[in-house]
Each structure stands twice: as C-alpha cells, then as structure tokens.
C-alpha cells in the first residue's frame, strides 16, 4: 500500500519559490512526496531538513546528502534546526494532519473504519492516547474537546454518556466507543458525526492546536526576509490560525498601527487561497478538504 499520495504537490512547492542554494524545511515529511520535489528543484549546495514525529516515516528517508530527517515534533523546529547549525531558512512547508499510512494501519486507531484500540498518537513517544482522553478526562474537559475541536453542539450529552458508560467498564476500542455513542449516530449522519468525534479526540491527543501555534510563531523567527511559508491545512480550525497569522502576525485581534497609521505585519500574502481541482480530488479523495496558503516574510 502506498504510504501517502502528496496533496497539491506542485503549487505547494512552487509556493516556496526555491532558490537552488537555499535552505528549506518540510515539517511534515510523511511519505516524502513534497520533500522529493523540493530536492528535485534544489542545486548541489541546497539543503533540506525534514521533520516527522512518527517513527514509521523514518523508513521513507531519502538517500540524498542534501537531506536530513529529524524524528521530532515540529513544535521544536527552532531548537532542532539550531542543533543542526541552522539559524535562518529560505522556506518552510507544512502539510498538516495525518498521513494515509497512519489512517490506513488499523492499529494506529485513527480510522473509524476498523475496530481497533483507541490510540491516535502520531508519535509513539506521546503519553496521551485516545484511550486516556476517553477514559480519564473529566467530563468538562471531554466537553471542551468535543465542542472546541469537533464543533459538536451536543458535546455535553456526548461527554455525559461516555462518563456514565465508563463507570461500568473502560471503553477500549472503536466499536465500543461507537456502541456507547450509538444513540447519537443515526444512519443519516453517522459518518459525519463520527468524523467530528474522531477529529476532536485526535486534535486533543496530539495537542494539534497548541503545536500549530508554536510552530507558526517559530517559523516567523526562523525565516529569512523574503523566505516563504507554504502551508496546507485540512480543517477550519487549522486554516483559521494560519490565515490570521499570515494576515495579522497574530492569532487573535488586530495588529498595531505604526506612526503613519499603517498596520505593521510580518508577511506578504502570495496569491489566493489554493484548493485542489476536481481531477485531483477524483484520484485522491483525501485532498478534498485541503487549503493551501502561501506567504513571504517581509
Ligand atoms: C499529511 S502527512 C504529510 C505527507 C507528506 N507531505 C507526503 O507527501 O508524503 C502529515 C505528516 O506529518 C506528521 N506530523 C503531523 N504533525 C506533526 C508534528 N507536530 N510534528 C512532526 N510531524 C508531524 C505526521 O506524522 C504525518 O506523517
């Protein structure tokens, strides 16, 4: 089975406006689709650093002396690049979320298609798992997870139902969770609601929103002036953070005006929002929710 089919491959790499001698970072290496294309465009003196927190991705490391793969969370991008002697880079690419590999291996627990133990950790080093969120979180914390990350209006009822069920015995697998929540999963909306529940738990397990914020802030510090930021997100919570930061240099509120009354912002937006065309979605259904934003550091 293919590890991952890269989404919006050319526009995302085009967005980096690659200089042959530049230093680039692919923070979501996965199957290496985007990394291979970056290396193809780099000259002999260019460099590519890639991150992936999933040990499984290490098997895809590219045999190229211009390439270094770092098996760490990209929330530590600045620290690990510094460790490799890199202070400034010319472009950063992020293709957020889960790889097809993670989704397709039943034991990883990311998919509602299989009956597997509740897991959903992208990194094998992560202590928090879907099992712990479902079985150990206080009711109000579960409610927050479902409400904030799944945008589920019935978050209070879902949480209450889980807490009551686990008083009898722990909820260990996908099918047990589906059974516990059966009354909220009528056939008509079953897949949609399950996807929202799973998205919420996954975001919490991997602390995806906090991680993304830390990464976005550090990227700005690391990019050289004129350096490019090319980011694909897959749900509105991620896209909102990326969009706001590119526009305003902050996640909330408005930037301050300078002496002349102009907004002082760190990025220039490059082009419009890019989404996959019908042909790409037809051959790769996982591309359907992708949104690509490109920015250049001023
Ligand atoms: C959508 S896939 C990327 C696929 C890749 N662009 C390709 O062409 O094969 C996302 C990958 O990023 C990794 N990932 C997600 N969040 C991460 C994080 N915070 N730190 C490091 N890796 C992360 C996942 O483990 C997964 O392999």
- Indicate if 44 and 76 belong to the same structural domain: yes
CA proximity to 224, closest of 8, 32, 25, 57: 25
Q: Is residue 65 in some structural domain?
A: yes
Residue where a domain terminates, one of 180, 206, 232 = 206
In-domain check, residue 1:
no
Same-domain pairing of 272 and 200: no
Question: In this structure, are 66 and 119 located in the same domain?
Answer: no
Domain boundary among 206, 225, 241: 206
Q: Which residue has the tokens 């895809």?
A: 60
Q: Could you tell me which residues come within 8 angstroms of residue 96 by beta carbon, excluding any fewer than 6 positions away?
A: 28, 208, 212, 231, 232, 233, 234, 238
Give the Å distance between the CA of 11 and the centre of ligand 1. Answer: 18
Q: What is the pLDDT of residue 260?
A: 86
Which ligand 1 atom is nearest residue 211's CA? 19
How many whole angstroms from 50 Cα to the centroid of ligand 1?
10
Q: Is 170 within a domain?
A: yes
Residues 225 and 269 occupy one common structural domain = yes
> Is the domain of 64 the same as that of 120?
no
Q: Are residues 33 and 48 in the same domain?
A: yes
Residue pLDDT tens, the chain, 298 long: 789 999 999 999 999 999 999 999 999 999 999 999 999 999 999 999 999 999 999 999 999 999 999 999 999 999 999 999 999 999 999 999 999 999 999 999 999 999 999 999 999 999 999 999 999 999 999 999 999 999 999 999 999 999 999 999 999 999 999 999 999 999 999 999 999 999 999 999 999 999 999 999 999 999 999 999 999 999 999 999 999 999 999 999 888 888 888 888 999 999 999 999 999 999 999 999 999 999 999 9
74 and 217, same domain (yes or no): yes
What's the CATH code of the domain at 278?
3.40.50.150
Q: Which helix (H) or strand (E) holds 237?
A: helix 236-248
What residues are in contact with ligand 1 under a 6 Å CB criterion?
4, 6, 28, 30-34, 51-54, 57, 73-75, 95, 97, 99, 122, 211
Residues 164 and 220 in one domain: no
Task: Give which of 293, 254, 252, 231 is closest to 34, Cα–Cα.
Answer: 231
Kindly state whether residues 199 and 216 are assigned to the same domain: no
For residue 257, what pLDDT is reported? 85
Residue of minimum CA distance from atom 4 in ligand 1: 30
Domain that holds residue 227: 9-100+208-297
Total domain count, the chain: 2
Residue 65 shares a structural domain with residue 131: no
| Residue 74 in marked binding region | yes
* Domain termination site, one of 206, 231, 256: 206
Residue 101 alpha carbon, nearest atom of ligand 1: 27
Percent composition of the chain: helix, strand, coil (DSSP 3-state, to 5): 45, 15, 40
Q: Which atom of ligand 1 is nearest to the CA of 215?
A: 19
Q: Are 205 and 131 in contact (CB under 8 A)?
A: no
Residue 261 maps to a domain:
yes
Position 4 in a domain: no
Q: Which residues make Cβ contacts (< 8 Å) with residue 73, sequence separation at least 6? A: 51, 53, 123, 211
110 and 200 fall within a common domain: yes
Tokens of 197: 């529940």
Is 71 inside a domain boundary?
yes
Give the residue, out of 3, 6, 27, 28, with the most ligand 1 atoms within 8 A of its beta carbon, to mutate for a pocket test.
28
- What's the gap in Å between 99 CA and the centre of ligand 1? 6
Residue 179 sits in the same domain as residue 253 = no
- CATH (domain of 139): 1.10.150.170
In the chain, which ranges are E strands? 23-26, 47-51, 67-70, 89-95, 223-233, 267-269, 291-297
């Amino acid at each position: 089975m293919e590890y991952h089919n890269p989404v919006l491959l050319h526009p995302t790499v085009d967005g980096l406006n690659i200089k042959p001698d530049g230093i680039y970072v692919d923070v979501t290496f996965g199957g290496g689709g985007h990394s291979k294309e970056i290396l193809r465009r780099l000259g002999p003196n260019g460099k590519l650093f890639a991150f992936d927190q999933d040990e499984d991705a290490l098997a895809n490391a590219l045999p190229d002396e211009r390439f270094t793969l770092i098996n760490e969370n990209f929330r530590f991008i600045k620290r690990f690049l510094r460790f490799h002697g890199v202070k400034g880079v010319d472009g950063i690419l992020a293709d957020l979320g889960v790889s097809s590999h993670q989704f397709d291996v039943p034991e990883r627990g990311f998919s509602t298609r299989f009956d597997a133990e509740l897991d959903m950790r992208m990194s094998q080093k992560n202590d928090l798992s879907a099992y712990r969120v479902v079985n150990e979180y206080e009711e109000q914390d579960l409610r927050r997870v479902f409400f904030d990350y799944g945008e589920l209006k019935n978050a209070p009822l879902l949480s209450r139902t889980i807490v009551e069920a686990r008083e009898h015995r722990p909820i260990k697998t996908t099918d047990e969770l589906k059974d516990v929540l059966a009354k909220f999963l009528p056939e008509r909306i079953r897949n949609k609601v399950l996807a929202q529940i799973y998205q919420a738990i996954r975001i919490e397990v991997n602390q995806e929103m906090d991680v993304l914020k830390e990464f976005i802030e550090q990227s700005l510090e690391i990019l050289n002036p004129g350096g490019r930021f090319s980011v694909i997100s897959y749900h509105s919570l991620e896209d909102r953070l990326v969009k706001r930061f590119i526009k305003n240099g902050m996640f909330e509120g408005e930037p301050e005006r300078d002496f002349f009354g102009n907004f002082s912002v760190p990025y220039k937006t490059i082009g419009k929002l890019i989404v996959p065309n019908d042909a790409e979605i037809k051959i790769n259904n996982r591309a359907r929710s992708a949104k690509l934003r490109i920015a250049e550091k001023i």
